[in-house]
Structure 1
Amino acid sequence: MSAELLQRLERLSQAALASGDLLPVQAQEVLVQQQGLPFYVRWVSTLAAKDAANVSIPGGPRDPNFNPFLPPDPNLTLEDVSSTHNIVLNKFAVCDLHLVLADKVFSEQLSPLRDIDLRALAQFLGTYGGLGFYNGGGPAGASQRHKHTQWVPQAAGNGSLGMYLDALPADAAPGSDHRHVALPFAHCFVRLHDQNDVAALADSLLDAHRRACEVLGLRVGSDGLLPAHNVLAGQGWMLVVPRSAELVDGISINALSYAGCIYVRTPEQIDVVRTTGPLEVLARAGYA
């Protein structure tokens, strides 16, 4: 991948905004500090629009007969990038160039992540940095069963694992796992191999995910699916968080929430997070 790919994505984004196929992002946010960790609590207009759009969809977004990725909207899809995944602009984006990397063939979102899933993500992480994430199942904030990961570019307010790293050993051996002392919920950080090669990074992401699932007791069930969990991958680290519930006081918690960006549907919910405390909100969505 090259800078030319981002230019193509930007042109596609501008065309989709002009046609109305992509909704503009309008946000209001506050910064809340807790345990020395910074959290942005953001109201984003596109999430309210997503809720409104789902009203007209029979069965809602988790209806097995509703699948926006098979096929994806051609006005939001970048062609000829991957043989295994569609690169799709998220119609209900939380930031500019918020991408969905959706498998071209249906598989369940909670079936174990595969090399091809993480290779698609590694192509963006290894070339452009930013943050990769995965909402594994409805309790983890996934609105679609069709397997997909997501990527957002690095920018202020997009979320990052950086806020946690001061409490983790920067010189840890690749594959080693750690906990952050300030986090009151089950989680596992795993150090990634420090390589820019896409294939090696994909292997490292896959190994890290398997290691974290082992540490956390996330095992494939008789149905072939893993328990609900979130995955975040940044520069050198992966974070995996088991999930017990999607909603806390009506606020949907997904992977980006654990990266320091808690997205709310109404401006009033900003005060709910501020009063409750972001770490308590995240803890109630996970496990002790």
Structure 2
Amino acid sequence: MEKESLEQRSLRQFDTLVERGNLLWRTTTPQLIHASPFNFQFRSANSLTAKPILSSTDPGRSKPTNAFSDTDPGFHLSYIGPSHTLILNKYCVVRPQFLLHTNTFVPQADHLTEADLGAAWNVLSSLGKGYFVIYNCGFEGGSSVGHKHLQILPLPPKEEFRFFPDILGITLESPTSPRIPFRHAVKALPSSPSSFQLIEIYSSLVEQSGVNEVAGHNFLMTEDWMLVIPRRKGRKGILSANAAAMAGMVWVTSEVEVRQWVEHGPMKLLCEFGVLV
């Protein structure tokens, strides 16, 4: 009998958890909002209303306890090296949605390490080109809890939505796109990079984008590129933005939030959440 791939096993476990009511997810239809220099895709997910979101001063953001230690065994997928564990995300927007957490408590406000990036690439390369990784660093970066974790999600079909590095392209001469109004840095990745290469690229993007001048930042990575975006704040009223939102993929809890995003102007909001060029 042919061995299940990571993707096949995750989908099987995902569907079982949904049937049992242990994993919160339902099919959603994305809405495309046209903007310049890139479009926005909105998904409304009721599961996010149940998701715990700690305030910036909550002790859980610094208290050394494992936020994922009581996870139902049905959520567990695999240990990734000695330092990380891959599980299914309970509060899902898409199918499947993974969570890669450190085995011991590390603050979500810390920058990524070589071990983090190596573990993330391990998962990404196991799943293939149809996935991407995000990291929401700190409260201002849109993180919900204080225990360090990355998320891995399926990319949407290209005819539905593409992130701006794929639309606007990546040049070797500059780490930024002149059309993006908020600070960022992006770089194309070599084929099968080592964890050392990944941390070198991440560190250079952190420096080039000015992350150390602000409290938080976002990280996105596909098999083709890495993107870093410094953040000024995580929320405005009921609206919030994580790493995916800063690149145009916005998750909301209701149509009310979609209307507010559109009324404020989605690109204007990203400039408020991020740092103006």
Q: Shorter-normalised TM-score: what interval?
A: 0.7 to 0.9
Cα distance change, pair 72–203 in 1 and its aligned pair in 2 (3 A): farther
Contact 2:134 2:219 in 1 (8 A): yes
Q: Structure 1 stretches of 5 or more lacking a match?
A: 221-225
| Structure 1 equivalent of residue 153 of structure 2 | 152
Percent identity for Structure 1 against Structure 2: 25
Change (3 A) 1:36 1:201: same
Does residue 2 of structure 2 align to residue 14 of structure 1? no
TM-score (normalizing by structure 2): 0.86
How far apart, in 2, do the equivalents of 1:72 and 1:264 lie? 25
Contact 1:44/1:263 (8 A) holds in 2: yes
Structure 2 partner of 1:185: 182
For the aligned residue pairs, the C-alpha RMSD in angstroms reads 2.7
Question: How is 1:93-132 mapped onto 2 (pairs within 5 angstroms)?
Answer: 93-127=92-126, 128-129=128-129, 130-132=131-133
The residue identity in structure 2 corresponding to 1:92 is Y
Give 2:6's aligned residue. Answer: 5
- State the match for 1:30 in structure 2: 31
Q: CA offsets, 1:145-181, max 9 Å, x none?
A: 2111110022339x976433343345x2xxx642122
Change (3 A) 1:201 1:274: farther
Paired residues, number: 268
Offset, 1:5: 1.6
TM-score norm. by structure 1 comes to 0.83
Show CA shifts across 1:101-137 (max 9, x none).
0011111122231111111110122231211110001
Look up the match of 2:252: 264
- Runs of at least 5 residues in structure 2 that lack an aligned partner in the other structure: none
Q: Which residue of 2 aligns with 1:72?
A: 71
Q: In 2, Cα distance between the equivalents of 1:26 and 1:114?
A: 34
Closer, same or farther: CA 110–62 of 1 in aligned 2, 3 Å: closer
How many Å apart are 1:256 and its aligned residue?
0.8
User: Residue 239 of structure 1: which of 221, 227, 247 is its match?
Assistant: 227
* Structure 1 pair 231–8 and aligned structure 2 pair: CA distance change class (3 A): same
Shift of 1:80: 4.6
For structure 1, which segment, 236-245 or 79-88, has the greater mean C-alpha deviation from structure 2 after superposition? 79-88
Distance in 2 of aligned mates of 1:24 and 1:166: 29
